[in-house]
Structure 1
Amino acid sequence: MDLTVFGATGGIGQEIVRQALDAGHRVTAVVRDPARLTVTGAELQVVTAGLGDAEALRPALAGRDAVFSGLGPRSPRKVGIAESGTRSILRAMEAEGVRRFLAVSAAPLGPVPDGDSFLQRRVLFPLISRLLRSVYDDLRAMEDEMRRSATDWTSVRPPKLTNRALTGAYRTALNANPPRGGSIGRADVAHAMLAMAEDPATVKQAVGVAY
């Protein structure tokens, strides 16, 4: 497939690029600072671009089979990037007639699973949601942009992210979070997103993913 990856210098973004190249796909990585992209490959094209102008993004999207986004605020001070950047990407995709879009969101946007402990349901989830409220508000606004778009979108909602090596062994849940799923490695989130790109059951769905 011909793929484009935004946020390609982030932890999940770089894993998407790396795993996609390993699987034989052609990848365009859209970055602001090419020096931060450590992945290389004969089928990799690196495009330096900001996210403020949807028209400028169209060449990086033309003819692509799927678009991935690892955009997100790295801290509460960076909130807004998920919503504004995704809006530009979606507009450029619609202009080019590209339909498949997958973006990283977060587990706290979904419901707390019934199988979780009282501590998880009543203390930890509410506490995390309050502490990172502005970050999750940005991701909620991003998901709203996706729902309003004409794309075949999927929002991928991992819990706590780790740097664990790729296992390929994780759980997913449509419009829910896997019970007792407290963490997942960035490499496995990327693996799940690449698999979802060709899974029609995940189109226009939020998907929880965790160990």
Structure 2
Amino acid sequence: MNLTVFGATGGIGREIVRQALGAGHQVTAVVRDPARLDVTGDALRVVRADLTDPEELRATVRGRGAVLSGLGARSRKDAGVATRLTRTILHAMEAEGVRRLLVVSAGPVGPAPADDGPLDRAARGLVSAILKDVYADLREMEAELARSGTDWTSVRPPRLQDKPLTGHYRSVVGGFPPRGRFIARADVAHAMLAMVDDQGAVKQGVGVAY
């Protein structure tokens, strides 16, 4: 499949590019600074682009089977970036008639498992309070997705780790795995690629965790 990846220099985006190439996909990585992308391959095209200009992005999504985004705030001071940049991507996709979009959100944005214990509820509440602005940004991003005409999926991981790909994790469409506290960025990327052709994940938030 011909894929476009935004946020390709981030931890999840880089893994999406690496794993997609390994699976035989054609990949266009859209970045602000190509020098920061250390992934190479004959099927990889790296494009420098202004992520705030939907007209400039149209050529990067034209004719693609799917678009995957690892964009998001890297710290609390970046809150707002997920909504702003995702809105630009949506405009570019809709102008080109490209429908499939998968983005990274966060576990606390979606519903908590009904059987979460006191420790998990307390931890979730603490993290949500500390990262209030970041999660507000992600909720607005998901609202933008819901208002769009795309076949979107929002992937919601818990705390992210820089660990090797395992390919073994739990996923819950419309919810979150009970006691799911961690997941590697590589496995989030794996889950996103696995959901590209999953019709059950279309227009859904999907919780992923170990």
Per the normalisation by structure 2, the TM-score is: 0.99
Write the distance in 2 (CA, Å) between the matches of 1:111 and 1:95. 32
- Name the residue aligned to 1:175: 174
What is the RMSD computed on CA atoms of the aligned residues?
A: 0.6
* 5+ long unaligned stretches in structure 2: none
Which residues in structure 2 correspond to 1:1-211 (within 5 Å)? 1-121=1-121, 123-211=122-210
Write the distance in 1 (CA, Å) between the matches of 2:37 and 2:9. 5
CA offsets 1:7-31 (integer angstroms, 9 cap, x no match): 0000000000000000000000000
Write the distance in 2 (CA, Å) between the matches of 1:106 and 1:146. 15
Write the distance in 2 (CA, Å) between the matches of 1:26 and 1:92. 20
Q: Percent identity?
A: 64
CA offsets 1:70-122 (integer angstroms, 9 cap, x no match): 0100001111110010000000000000000000000001122123211211x
Write the distance in 1 (CA, Å) between the matches of 2:40 and 2:79. 30
Write the distance in 2 (CA, Å) between the matches of 1:57 and 1:6. 10
Write the distance in 2 (CA, Å) between the matches of 1:176 and 1:89. 25
- Which amino acid counterpart does residue 204 of structure 2 have in structure 1? Q
User: Which SS does the other structure have where 1:5 is aligned?
Assistant: strand
1:185, CA displacement in angstroms?
A: 0.4
Per the normalisation by structure 1, the TM-score is: 0.98
- Which amino acid counterpart does residue 135 of structure 2 have in structure 1? Y
User: Which SS does the other structure have where 1:155 is aligned?
Assistant: strand
Tell me which stretches of 4 or more aligned residues in structure 1 moved more than 6 Å.
Answer: none
User: Which SS does the other structure have where 1:59 is aligned?
Assistant: helix
- Which amino acid counterpart does residue 169 of structure 1 have in structure 2? H
1:38, CA displacement in angstroms?
A: 0.7
- Which amino acid counterpart does residue 51 of structure 2 have in structure 1? L
Q: How many pairs are equivalent? A: 210
* 5+ long unaligned stretches in structure 1: none
User: Which SS does the other structure have where 1:166 is aligned?
Assistant: coil
Write the distance in 1 (CA, Å) between the matches of 2:182 and 2:61. 32
CA offsets 1:28-47 (integer angstroms, 9 cap, x no match): 00000111101000000001
User: Which SS does the other structure have where 1:20 is aligned?
Assistant: helix
- Which amino acid counterpart does residue 156 of structure 2 have in structure 1? R
